[in-house]
Amino acid sequence: RDGGGVAVAVAEVVEAVPQVLSLLQLSAGPVTYPALLDLLEQRVAELHEERCEVPYGPRPDDNRPPAAAAPLPALLEWALRGLAAVGALTLGEGQATLTPLGNWAVWVKLEQICVAAQSPAGNIEQPAEDMLHGCAALTPGPARVEYRAWLAARTVGSAVAELLAVARGDDALLRGLAFEALRVVGAPAEPVVRAAAGERTLRPYAVLWLAEYEGADPEDAADALTREEATWLWVDTAAAVSDHGESPLLVRHLESAVQGTVPALLEEVRAVGHPRTVQVLVALAAAHPDPALAKAVRRAAFQVHTGGS
């Protein structure tokens, strides 16, 4: 068999190994090589069928010799020896037995599959951005169920990287939701989130995440933010509300500012340099029912836009 064919055969065996491990786990004892080989052959045949690999046979003008059959017995032995080398199973005379470590690994994988099956909104196969969009209208509890299901279908590293890539985008709502999903990841995300605290756009979210991770009550986590970080987060949240919420919600968001007075808020918002400042202030001015306050906000938006003081 040529090199490409062998590579395909190896990939097929690797994909079929979970079924082999499941048989070993269900048997709760030694399983003979012939039984494992039979299962492996069945699974590889299923993979061929799933890919619609129909053997058409040689063409009349094709004088090349047929490729050799995939060496499944040798590949099975290779896979079993590899699993034995990491302590997942033991090899006897013509048979294999799952070790406690191997049993644990199978149960962990089954648990991940069960968690992934609990995705009522059907976001499990979506990329992070689409998944977060799908969770935007959910309350926190159902959203966390979706996050857990989505995460269970991926490696931690790839999931965290994908979520942070979305957080670095322009959509402030998705930025906040990405960090909510990272809260579900927990400890494995800590080094990456700590590194993200060095990025200005992500820093307020990362600081809050780390404060909660280190034991702070979510209601008190904001104390970990500097005043500038809190102001940046206020603008970012206002941008999310402006893009996805309703006018009354934007007006209520005004009350959450740490500054206490609108003039102080406007001064610090102008100084913080958030790229969405003008849009946020214009939207707030349009939404606020107080004409005098709306006028002051519009003036601040104009000053930010023109670079005036």
- Strand 89-92 relative to strand 31-32: parallel, antiparallel, unpaired? unpaired
Write out residues in the chain with pLDDT < 50, as ranges: 1, 54-69, 117
Decide: 97 and 24 in contact? Cβ < 8 Å.
yes
pLDDT value, residue 58 = 47
pLDDT value, residue 118 = 54
pLDDT value, residue 52 = 63
CA 186 to chain centroid: 12
pLDDT value, residue 122 = 64
Instruction: Give the tens place of pLDDT for each residue, 273-301.
Output: 899 999 999 999 998 888 998 899 999 89
Which residues lie closer than 8 Å to 57 by C-beta, 6 or more apart? none
pLDDT value, residue 56 = 39
Closest listed residue to residue 141, CA positions, set 118, 159, 125: 118
Compute the distance between CA of residue 124 and CA of residue 139 in angstroms, rounded to an integer: 18
pLDDT value, residue 309 = 52
Class of domain 3-56+66-99: mainly alpha
**Residue 163 carries which side chain, given as an amino acid letter?**
L
Residues found in the chain = 309
Domains of the chain, residue spans: 3-56+66-99, 117-225, 229-306
**Residue 265 carries which side chain, given as an amino acid letter?**
L
Q: Measure the CA angle with vertex 231, ends 179 and 186; round to 5°.
A: 20
Instruction: Give the tens place of pLDDT for each residue, 146-191.
Output: 898 888 888 899 999 999 999 999 999 999 999 999 999 999 999 9
